[in-house]
Amino acid sequence: MENDSSLNSREKRNLCMFMLSYILNNLVSGILYDTYVNYLQEVSVSIATSFWAFYGYATFISAIMLIFVPKTGYKKLLVFCSISCAAALFSVVFLRSESIFYFTTLFSLVGVQLHYIMLAPFVAAYTGRLKDKSIDWYTRVYYTGYIGYFLTTYLGGVFVVKMFSLRSGQTYSAAKKITAYIADAAPELKSAYIQGNEDVLLIVGIISLLALIPVFLIKEKKEDYLELKHSDKKSFSQKTKEISKILLNRDAVTYLAYWTIISFAMGLFTSYFTVFLNRNLHIDKATSSLLVSVSYLAIVLFMLFTPFAVKKLGKVGTNVFTVLMSVPFMLMLANGDKFGNAMIPVVGLALFMRAGLANLGAPAESDLMMSITPKALRPAYTSIVNFLAGMVSIISGNFTGKYLFVEQEGYRSAYYIAAVLYVIAAIIMFTGLRKYNRKSGKES
């Protein structure tokens, strides 16, 4: 079996530089899904409650952009990711208005989402020939990326409270207590809280620009994203037939069905963790951010065991098991306030376990998705998967914004609905894709 030694120095360098840029990009992601969403709760509730719809639009745009990889390569798109995020975050701070928030939300999410969906085909471009060993690279990129998530989700909450305390003339302890009921705070305190959020967003905008450094160090060649032995140009109709052939494949459709349901379910709660903890369970901003950040640490830790899980359960078995096992902890979160004085440790444990389990299979899932399609069509198939996921996310976001989150208790109901959808998605994957399950290199 081939191993990492079959990669040349340029290929390893490109993978490592992508990994570093992914970490920095996830620093931005951690702020977007925590500090930025809470910021929107104060300045534009309509956008905040429909945040996942913007995620859907961003995924839709990212999927279209990924189609152009055969023309542009990956490097140019990675440059766009950093610039898009930075420009959006700077605009939030310096051009604050309702109309601007639509664009900042969309372009910041395009920047992080395009980088995310590029992960699978980019890693596959260099590790496809490693066969089962490719899972190691997927795992490395994923768990190092979530280190970025962990850092900014935790530090973002702490820094927001700190900047809020400085701007309001409060002690850190007093400011922290005020954030637990920020909706009821006096206007001058709310204004200082908003400014504290903006301070953090500005800092992260600068960090986004730093992600350009490793991107510029990537040395890309056409053979990284094209099969040069088939370099003869194909007509549009030929390409359409190839893609159509994939979409008519039962396995490809099954994966699309699985990912569609998961995408809709995620849109009901994953972007609103701190909103639920802060406004439903009345946990202060710093503590709620800490709890969510610890859940990202769980992702890092659990992904260390992904290769072991795949070896024992196979790619499909790992995904099915982890998706199903995350459901009980989602229900614990929904009922966090029923645990009395033990609420914070119970909610922390539930967040930790749900996040760890739900994401342990992510590298295996990416590897599974890439195994369905040939190298030349991987960017296109990834675009199709994310195009559909984007449309579903738009539907999910509009559902939460117009119906589910009209009442604050809707944030709790979201966990129950998502739990049911997770079970359905797991059943679809198991029944339709179990033939791809591999344990110890053998078909199961």
The rounded distance, in Å, linking the Cα atoms of 110 and 106 is: 6
Q: Give yes or no for a contact between 273 and 433, defined as CB atoms under 8 angstroms apart.
A: no
pLDDT at 441 over 50: no
Q: Give yes or no for a contact between 284 and 180, defined as CB atoms under 8 angstroms apart.
A: yes
Query: Counting Cβ atoms within 10 Å, is residue 262 exposed (0-12), middle (13-18) or buried (19+)?
Result: buried
pLDDT band at residue 135 using 50, 70 and 90 as cut-offs: confident
Summarize the confidence of residues 248-258 as an average pLDDT.
Answer: 85
Summarize the confidence of residues 272-297 as an average pLDDT.
Answer: 83
Is 105 among the domain residues?
Answer: yes
pLDDT band at residue 243 using 50, 70 and 90 as cut-offs: low
Judged by DSSP in three states, 304 sits in: coil
What is the per-residue pLDDT across 90-123, written as a single tens digit (0 to 9) for each? 999 898 888 899 999 999 999 999 998 888 888 8
The rounded distance, in Å, linking the Cα atoms of 277 and 275 is: 6
pLDDT band at residue 228 using 50, 70 and 90 as cut-offs: very low
CATH number of the domain enclosing 114: 1.20.1250.20
The rounded distance, in Å, linking the Cα atoms of 297 and 359 is: 11
Least confident of 17-26, 120-129, 302-311: 120-129
Residues of the chain with pLDDT > 90, as a percent, come to 36
pLDDT at 443 over 50: no
Highest mean pLDDT of the ranges 59-73, 134-148, 211-225: 211-225
Is 232 among the domain residues?
Answer: no
pLDDT at 47 over 60: yes
Q: Which domain holds residue 312?
A: 4-217+237-443
Across the chain, mean pLDDT equals 85
Is 15 among the domain residues?
Answer: yes
More confident position, 299 or 266: 266
pTM of the model: 0.70
Predicted pLDDT of residue 115: 92
pLDDT at 444 over 50: no
Residues of the chain with pLDDT > 70, as a percent, come to 91
Please enumerate in sequence order all residues whose Cβ is within 8 A of that of 316, keeping only pairs 6 or more positions apart, or say none. Answer: 368, 429, 430, 433, 434, 436, 437
Summarize the confidence of residues 233-245 as an average pLDDT.
Answer: 64
Summarize the confidence of residues 45-53 as an average pLDDT.
Answer: 85
pLDDT band at residue 442 using 50, 70 and 90 as cut-offs: very low
**Helix H or strand E encompassing 438:** strand 438-439
What is the per-residue pLDDT across 393-416, written as a single tens digit (0 to 9) for each? 889 888 988 899 888 899 999 999
Is 228 among the domain residues?
Answer: no
The rounded distance, in Å, linking the Cα atoms of 311 and 305 is: 10
Is 229 among the domain residues?
Answer: no
Summarize the confidence of residues 224-232 as an average pLDDT.
Answer: 57
Least confident of 33-37, 92-96, 112-116, 153-157: 153-157
Predicted pLDDT of residue 238: 63
Summarize the confidence of residues 163-169 as an average pLDDT.
Answer: 93
The rounded distance, in Å, linking the Cα atoms of 15 and 142 is: 12
Judged by DSSP in three states, 225 sits in: coil
The total domain count for the chain is: 1
Is 392 among the domain residues?
Answer: yes
Is 224 among the domain residues?
Answer: no
Is 91 among the domain residues?
Answer: yes
Summarize the confidence of residues 180-199 as an average pLDDT.
Answer: 88
